[in-house]
Structure 1
Amino acid sequence: MLRDEKQYIESLRDGRVVYYRGDKVKDVTTHRALRAAVNHASLVYKWQADDDKRGLTVYKDPENGDVSSFFKIPRSSDDLIERFNLIYQTTRFGRGTFNIIKAIGSDAIFALMLVTRRIDSATGSKYAERVTRFYKNVIKNDPAIAVAQTDVKGDRLLRPSEQPDPDMYVRIVERRKDGIVVRGAKAHTTQGPVSNEIIVLPTRAMTEKDADYAVAFAVQANAPGLKMISKPERAAEAAMNDEWFVTGKENVETESITIFDDVFVPWDRVFLAGEWQFAGSLAVMFPTYHRFTAISYRAGIADMFIGLGKLLAEYNGVDDKSHIRRDVVELIKYKEMLRSTAISSAMMADLDTETGIVIPNKVLTNVGKLIANESYMDVVKHLVDIAGGLAATLPASSDFNNPEEKVYLEKYLIGKKGTNAVERARIISTVKEIISSFGALYTAAMLHAEGSIEASVLELYRSYDYKDSKKLAMYASGISEKL
């Protein structure tokens, strides 16, 4: 059953343990900074009841009725293209901020559906049945879901079982008749503090000695022993002091260090428990879906950059200058390359015949993700080049509200004749927010989120089918007479 935004917000008042800047948070929904993350996540639930957006965010399942579109299992290329459009458009609806609260959870569920079927076939386990039951519970209760995959890792040169402190990767410390007990910590859990469920996945391939670390499960956000230490929400805090920083007030996502301090997980919510041979498969399958999600939402962010750049070029009266045209075209190129790789990845998806689920094309997905990572800083450069120095030195919105200052600011911050100085300043203010209070987040996230540059390089190198390319090279060299 679909929830509304009030039901979602109320569900977060459940005694969860969250810390923010050294203090234990009594209620994330009313916290001065974290409520911005709540507001952003709640939009997904709001859109489900919006007549104009319901057609995008809700689909009618033949067995279960109305279900969130994020949880629709992709069984064709068309389904993946619909998913691209869902993520792209909801990013635009969120003022250029990706809304991860159901997207990442569904990425994980699809990966679990595929990999657990293979584990069951090889070992006789019943993990796939558990994933199916969990999925049915998800589409029935419509929860917000976070995913914790990246372990804190300790010494990066050592495997999980080789760490001086064995808790540097999440591991099973006890097996009981009714479930397992896990200990460790995960980093970068986006929207964990404002989620209902957290799906935990392995972060890497394992050896037999690492078997206790080969673990996947789902746990409720208020589970005993689960603690989340949120990052400082500088964008939300900055927005408290400037009314023009709209995104920071309403469209922020938070990340946490998620600590599993001997957390009990019932067997029905355990999806991998020691089958180390399959940890790597799960660690790779999830990013395949999540990188498809990445190039979809990043195309939405790029669309906002295009709009900001073109408007500022027009307000500044320089939209006919060759170097500004090049700046704008670079923004267009970035967006359309991401959009093209996402759609191509969907059209050339691979069908898993055992489950009937389609998988985004790994090569095209990782090509798009690599472009998104490697080119982001250049995109910012082009946007700032258009905006000019005021992106750093623009006075605050409160200065425009002071009658004594307003008359000067409206006179001297005018752009091209016939434009509005306040509108120009607000657009510049949005660029300023992106590169200042959002700057660290955007820079690190656009380079590392959903996998680093090196992760995409490794996946491309090992996934690419070199057979025809090598045949052509042999033919071109005259070594072979056949192509």
Structure 2
Amino acid sequence: MGLMSSQDYVNSLKDGREIYYRGTKVYDVTQHEVLRSAVNHASLIYKLQENEKTRDLFVYKDDNFGYSSKFYKIPRNGNDLMERFNLIYETSKMGRGSFDVIKGIGSDAIFALMIITKKIDSYLKTRYYENIMKFYEYVIKNDLGLAVAQTDVKGDRDLRPFEQEDKDLYLRIVDKNKDGIIVRGAKSHITQAPVANEIIVLPTRNMSEKDKDYAVSFSIPPNTKGLKMISKPLKAVETSLNDPWFVLGKENMETQSLIIFDDVFVPWERVFLAGEYQFAGPLAVMFPTFHRFTAISYRAVIGDLLIGLGKLLAELNGIDDKSHIRRDIVDMIKYKEILRESALAASLYAEIDEDTKIAVPNRVFTNIGKLISNETYLNVVKDLVEIAGGLADTLPSTQDFYNEEEARYLKKYLVGKKGTDPLTRSKILSLTRELLSSLGAFFTTIMIHAEGSIEASVIELYRSYNYDESKKLAYYASGISDEMP
């Protein structure tokens, strides 16, 4: 027990888990030509905590468990949340702008489960808090990688879970016995499940009494009987295998899967919710609060990457002194810094849960940052395209630069500002093209939908904002009330 080595992590994935990729069963995810990119990216966390130069960023000494991953450090105050922001931010930079969720998303879920199970136990005399604390101990002691399965396939979005014609379109409990529960259904868009050590399942929405069979939360290993994972095509990785300049897609990609639960058994000690429908909604909201804090922390780094590309291209193209280019770059700076400021403000004004003493990121500042990141991402991509120009699309292939007959022409005619290196300019343009082409659908979709849609942030902001002081000011300003706000 203790911190897991990167090699031990890779070896832990060879456990007979059932994975499919492009219609073919994958017998060893660590050896699969495409999916091993997700393995390599996840293993980076373990390599960084082994490295003497980066160890202090990733490891802390826990009073109960000894040296442990900082991702599993329970936040108790605003400073702890700021430290978590820095951990996520720096991890994303080390991942070439791509966040490594293998511990981040799972710890988000664990903290939310600690808070909500404590309340369930208080109201209904259950023992779910004991279960999640034992699970947390197991995770931190063994330094495990986690995936979180929350989003159901949903079927007809206009119908509640119990109203669906096919009752399995939301994950549900189909049987209970003295040993545990049996569940059936599917969860979609699940990041890194094929390369995780445990999969934590959460409800996707609020539930009514008629939906109680769908109010379920638990954790199981990925090799559990009846669990099947169908990975999406990783087109960015497939493309990068033929292009040595497409480094991001080759080394820092994650996989998303459709997970099938074909009458999967879950022992009671791994169950955190089983029919207590009143708490499905609070759990479905508490997890995204932590997870959106994670989102704005890593998205600030994506903003940083876009700034770097934009400024370099402006300099290489000899246009960094043009007013419209300055506006494009300042637009990128504004995007990145609003996200970082939102994360820091969410830490500074954290809400401390009275039962568990866990610090919860401020919901207003978290959702403000998340909403801005969702709504304006494509604007900053437009800024980058404007700076880069047409070569972001029409740049010759990497192979052309290694053909001596062609290379001398490319180095002559693809030069930018006097004194700049045409090969450097071409590689920066190549990364820009990778972000726009093979990675374009991935980044666009996650930046608009991941960690909750635009509408989800709007709903949460509207219902969680404290209007009292604003209304008092309106009454006072109108003369209706003499009470100063």
Normalising TM by the smaller chain, what interval? over 0.9
Matches within 5 A, 1:2-151: 2-151=3-152
Deviations 1:112-157, CA, capped at 9 Å, x for gaps: 0000000000000010000000000001111110000000000000
**TM-score between both structures, scaled by the size of structure 1:** 0.99
Moved over 2 A (4+): none
Structure 1, unmatched stretches of 5+, are none
- Which residue of structure 2 aligns with residue 259 of structure 1? 260
Distance 2:146 2:268 in 1: 19
- Which residue of structure 2 aligns with residue 465 of structure 1? 466
Amino acid at match of 1:144: G
- Which residue of structure 2 aligns with residue 184 of structure 1? 185
Aligned length: 483
Q: CA deviation at 1:62?
A: 1.2
Helix, strand or coil: the match of 1:272? strand
- Which residue of structure 1 aligns with residue 278 of structure 2? 277
Distance 2:77 2:481 in 1: 39
- Which residue of structure 1 aligns with residue 372 of structure 2? 371
Distance 2:20 2:296 in 1: 31
Deviations 1:2-48, CA, capped at 9 Å, x for gaps: 11111111111110001101111111111111011111000000001
Matches within 5 A, 1:146-161: 146-161=147-162
Amino acid at match of 1:268: E
Percent identical among aligned pairs is 64
Amino acid at match of 2:266: V
Amino acid at match of 1:103: G
Distance 1:273 1:74 in 2: 27
Distance 1:327 1:5 in 2: 40
Helix, strand or coil: the match of 1:382? helix
Matches within 5 A, 1:213-362: 213-362=214-363
Distance 2:299 2:209 in 1: 38
Distance 1:13 1:124 in 2: 39
- Which residue of structure 1 aligns with residue 382 of structure 2? 381
Helix, strand or coil: the match of 1:187? strand
Helix, strand or coil: the match of 1:115? helix
Q: CA deviation at 1:476?
A: 1.3
Distance 2:71 2:94 in 1: 15
Helix, strand or coil: the match of 1:102? helix
Distance 1:4 1:195 in 2: 15
Distance 2:331 2:31 in 1: 41
Helix, strand or coil: the match of 1:189? strand
Distance 1:320 1:50 in 2: 41
- Which residue of structure 1 aligns with residue 194 of structure 2? 193
Distance 2:212 2:400 in 1: 60
- Which residue of structure 2 aligns with residue 442 of structure 1? 443
Distance 2:427 2:133 in 1: 48
Helix, strand or coil: the match of 2:189? coil
Correspondence 1:480 to 2:481:
yes
Amino acid at match of 2:61: K
Amino acid at match of 1:225: G
Distance 1:482 1:351 in 2: 30
Q: CA deviation at 1:353?
A: 2.0
Matches within 5 A, 1:426-441: 426-441=427-442
Distance 1:404 1:30 in 2: 37
Distance 1:4 1:393 in 2: 43
Q: CA deviation at 1:229?
A: 0.4
Helix, strand or coil: the match of 1:302? helix
**TM-score between both structures, scaled by the size of structure 2:** 0.99
Distance 2:393 2:177 in 1: 57
Deviations 1:271-306, CA, capped at 9 Å, x for gaps: 000000000000000000000000000001111111
Distance 1:381 1:437 in 2: 17
